[in-house]
A and B are shown apart, each in its own frame.
Chain A
Amino acid sequence: MIRKRMSSFLLMGVLGATSILRSQGLTAAQILDAVDRNLSSDNQVFTSRMVVHGRRASRTIVSKSWVVGTEKAFTEYLSPPREAGTKMLKVGKQLRIYSPQTDRVLQISGHMLRQSVMGSDFSYQDMMEDQSLQEAYHAELEGSELLDGRDSWVILLTAKKLGLAYPTRRAWVDKEWMLPMKEEMYAKGGKLLKSALVKEVMNVQGRTYPKVWLFKDELKRNSRGTEWIIDEIAFNVTIPEAMFSKAALRR
C-alpha cells in the first residue's frame, strides 16, 4: 500500500496539467502519462521490507501485499514475530486492521488515521490517499534539475480543492527511466513536511521499477526516516476477489 501511495501521485496522472516544458516540447501531463505507463498495472503482488530507523536502533517489518488498482489492497505482516499475522485491508475509503493478539478487526478512522504505521514515518492517512490527483492537483512543470547526477523534470502540484493532506507537492521525474525519483510534501504555509526518495531501481518484467524508497518526516531533526524495500514484485497476476473481504483478515 505504501508503494501504491508513493507512486499514486503520478500513477493516476495529472492529466489536467497545463504547463509546458517548452524546451522539451512536453507538457507536465505527457510526462506523467509516461510515468503512468511505466508504473501502472492492473494488479500487483509484492513482498517488501519496511526498515524503520529510530534514534537508537532500526526495526525491519516484512510484509506481503496484494493490490488491485487503487481501490483494493491487502497486506499481511510476516515478521518480526510481534507483528506477524497482523493484516490490513483497504477497500475504497475503509481501512481495517486485524490483530492476532486480540483476534479483533479494528476499523481505522478519524484521528487514528493520523497515527504512524508500525512506528514508521508514514501515517495510515498517507497510505489511504488514493484519490485522483488529476482531480485534486494542478500540475506545473518547473524545469529540469540534476538529481544525484541524473537529469530530472521538476513538477509542482498544487491543490485544486480544500481538504488534501498536503496542499502542495513537488516531484522530480527521471527523464530516462520516467520514474518519480523524489517527492516533497508541503504544509499549507509552505513548510516542508515529508519527503520520499527512490534510492535504488530494478528491472522487473521488462520495466525499470523503484526498489528502495526512503520516506522522511522532515520536521524531525536528524531523522533517518523509513526505508521501504521491494524484494519481489509480480505484475498482472490473478488475485481472488475473496482476498479483499473482511473475512480474509481472520484467515
Chain B
Amino acid sequence: MLIPKLAQRNLIGAGARTWLNVVTTSLALFMIVFASGMYDGMIAYTKRVTVATEIGGGQYWHPAYDPDDPFSIDDSHGLLPDELRQIVRRGEAMPILVVQGAAYPAGRVLPVMIRGIPPQQSIIDLPTQVLQAQPDGALPVLMGQGMARLSELEKGDRFVLRWRDVHGSYDARDAEVVGIMDVENFKVDLGQVWLPLELLRTMVDVPGHATYVVIGADEALTAASGEWVPRDHIFLLQDILNAVKADQPYVWTLYGLLLALAAMGIFNSQVLSIFRRRREIGTLMSLGMHRGRVVSLFTMEGALHSVYALLLTIIWGAPVLYLVATRGIPIPYDGADIGIVMGQRMWPVYSAGLLGGTVILVALIVTLVSYLPSRRIAKMNPTDALRGRAA
C-alpha cells in the first residue's frame, strides 16, 4: 500500500500541474462519451424511426422493384404469391403499390411517388386511418409535413394528381389532402403521397397488385415467397449502416485527437516530473527501494490522473450527460436536407459498453503514457541521481 499512498500524496502535492492534467483528461473523457452517445443515439433513432415508419419487420419486393431506379418502378408490380397473400390475410403483413405521378398544387408541377396503402393497417406507424375519409369528388391523400411544405398544401386543400394507368393512358383527378402526418422519416414524406391501396389499384387498373409487402415488426421473413425477394433489416438499413461505416474513420480521428490531448499533457508532466525529482529518485533508491518499485510509483502517479479525471467527470459531466439524455438537443435543421432520418431533437444513448469502454481506454492510455517516461528511472545510477544528474 506504500506505493499508492505515496503516489497519491505526490500527485496532490504537485498542485496546479496535477489539476490541469486532470481537467484536460476529464474534458477528453466527457467529450468522447458525449460525442459517442450522440452518434449512437442518432443511429439508434434513425433505425428506430425507419423500422417504425417504413420497413417494419422486413419486406418482400417484387422481383423487378428497385427503389433507386425510377425508370423501372412503373413496371415493378404484380400479384402476390400465395405465401404472401396468406400472411397478408392473417394481418401479419400489408401490400404497398407504388406508382409514379405528378401533383399540380396551385398549378405548379411536382413529380411524386403515389403509394397505395391499406388505410386500416397497423404494420407501420403512419396515420393511414385518415385515408378512410371520402372527400366529395376527390381522391383522399395523406402526405407528410415536408411534402405539405414543399407543395404549399394544407389539410383540406385540393390539387390535381396525374398518373398513367397500367396500359399507359394518362389519367388525372382532383385530390384532397385529408391528413398531414408529422413523420421524421423523409423517405415516406418528401415527394410521396399516400392513397388507399384499393383505390390506387383501381386507378391504375391493377387489381390485387403490389410493389412490395411490409411484414409486422414481430414477424419473421421466410424464404418461401415465390419469386418475390425477401429484404431483411440488414439490407433495408444498408444506407444507414454504410453511412456509419463511412463515418467511422472520422469518429476515431476525433477520439484520437481528444485522447492525444490528454495523453500529451500527462506525458509532458511525467517527463518534467522525472527530471525535476532526480534527487528524490536517488534518495528512494539509496534507501533500498528497488528500481522497479520507483518506476511503479511514477507510473501510478500518472495513472491516478485518470482516476481523478473520472471522479471529476462524474461530478460535473454526469449531470450534463443526464440533462442532455433527458431533454435532448434541438436540431436547427431538417435531416431531410442532408439526406438522413433524424428528429427535431437528438437524443444520445450511453450504453454500459460505451461508458466502461471509454473509461478503460482512457485509463490504459494514461497509464501507458505515464509508464513510458518512467522507464528512464530504471537506467538511473542512484549516486548520479542523488547529485541531481540524469542517467
Contacts and interface: CB of A to CB of B under 8 A. Distances in A.
Interface of A: 109-112, 114, 159, 162-167, 187-189, 191, 193, 217, 219-223
Contact of B172 (A112, A165, A187, A223): A187
A91 B116 CA distance: 37
B109 to A, nearest CB: 6
A56 B70 CA distance: 29
B106 A221 contact: yes
23 contacts: A109-B71, A110-B74, A159-B169, A163-B168, A163-B169, A165-B168, A166-B170, A167-B169, A187-B169, A187-B170, A187-B171, A187-B172, A187-B173, A189-B173, A191-B160, A191-B171, A193-B162, A193-B170, A219-B107, A219-B162, A220-B107, A221-B106, A221-B107
A247 B75 CA distance: 31
A220 B165 contact: no
A193 B70 CA distance: 23
Given A164-B168, A219-B160, A220-B107, 17 more contacts: A110-B72, A111-B70, A111-B71, A111-B73, A112-B71, A162-B167, A167-B169, A187-B173, A188-B169, A189-B171, A189-B172, A193-B170, A217-B109, A219-B172, A221-B106, A222-B107, A223-B107
Nearest to A125: B168
B283 interface: no
B167 A163 contact: yes
Contact of B169 (A109, A165, A223): A165
Given A110-B71, A112-B71, A219-B160, A188 B171 contact: yes
A65 B91 CA distance: 58
Nearest to B173: A189
Nearest to A164: B169
B33 to A, nearest CB: 49
Given A111-B100, A222-B107, A188 B170 contact: yes
Contacts of A164: 168-169
Contacts of A109: 71
A161 B173 CA distance: 21
B275 interface: no
B136 to A, nearest CB: 15
Nearest to B107: A221
Nearest to A186: B170
B108 interface: yes
Contact of B173 (A162, A191, A217, A221): A191
B316 to A, nearest CB: 56
A190 to B, nearest CB: 9
B262 to A, nearest CB: 53
B308 interface: no
A142 B173 CA distance: 25
A110 to B, nearest CB: 5
A111 B102 CA distance: 13
A220 B109 contact: yes
A189 B169 CA distance: 10
Given A111-B70, A111-B73, A220 B108 contact: yes
B104 interface: yes
B135 to A, nearest CB: 16
Contacts of B74: 110-111
Contacts of A193: 162, 170, 172
Contacts of A222: 107
Given A110-B72, A219-B160, A165 B104 contact: no
Interface in B141-198: 160, 162, 164-165, 167-173
Interface in B64-102: 70-75, 100, 102
Nearest to B205: A162
B388 to A, nearest CB: 76
Nearest to B174: A191
Contacts of B107: 219-223
A242 B69 CA distance: 35
Nearest to A166: B170
Contacts of A167: 169-170
